Amino acid sequence: MTAPQFSLPQPSTPLIGRAQEVASAQSHLRRAEVRLLTLVGPPGVGKSRLSLQVAVEARFSDGVGYIGLSQLNDANLVAVSIAQHIGLRQMSSGSPIEHLQNYLRDKQMLLVLDNFEQVMAAAPMVAVGGGSRTQDSDHQPHRPAPFD
């Protein structure tokens, strides 16, 4: 069975370098206990491009999605944006967050949330929704180095 294909943006330029960072991210994501991987760094360092490459190369049995949140400034809409992206219909009862969490619970899916800094208030929802089994202190952000 092929994984559902959620639309990934087409990279506008070929990737330069970053092979090591892509491999490192993939190896983190393959570990069952890693439910959340954060790329942090100053604007323009290459977080979006790196995460897109990781998405393009990743293989998860229930699919890979890339959700750009740049147009969003309401953290309450993050769950709805994710649900829309993966084609999840809103149920009439229950909150969108609960619905999304229930749906994702037994899925093997990579969801890249780009521009998350705009909706930081949704971070607890993502941490819980990702089923993170680790404590916050174990969650190591991944810092892409600037190009030389």
Ligand X SMILES: Nc1ncnc2c1ncn2[C@@H]1O[C@H](COP(=O)(O)OP(=O)(O)O)[C@@H](O)[C@H]1O
Of the pair 5, 13, the CB lying nearest ligand X is at: 13
Q: Which residue has the tokens 């439910």?
A: 35
Residues that bind ligand X (CB under 6 A): 13, 15-18, 41, 43-49
Phi then psi for 121, rounded to 5 degrees?
-65, -15
29 and 74 Cβ atoms separated by less than 8 Å: no
Phi/psi zone of residue 131: left (φ > 0), alpha (ψ -120 to 50 degrees), beta? left
Question: Considering only residues 2-41, where is the footprint of Mg ion by CB under 5 A?
Answer: none
Of the pair 3, 15, the CB lying nearest ligand X is at: 15
Does residue 53 belong to the site contacting Mg ion (CB under 5 A)?
no
Surface-to-core class of residue 8, CB atoms within 10 Å of its CB (0-12 exposed, 13-18 middle, 19+ buried): middle
Sign of the four-CA dihedral 110, 5, 106, 129: positive
Of the pair 39, 86, the CB lying nearest ligand X is at: 39
Which option in Mg ion, ligand X, none does residue 131 bind, with CB closer than 5 to 8 A by kind?
none
Of the pair 48, 53, the CB lying nearest Mg ion is at: 48
Shortest Å distance, C-beta 70 to Mg ion? 8
Which option in Mg ion, ligand X, none does residue 105 bind, with CB closer than 5 to 8 A by kind?
none
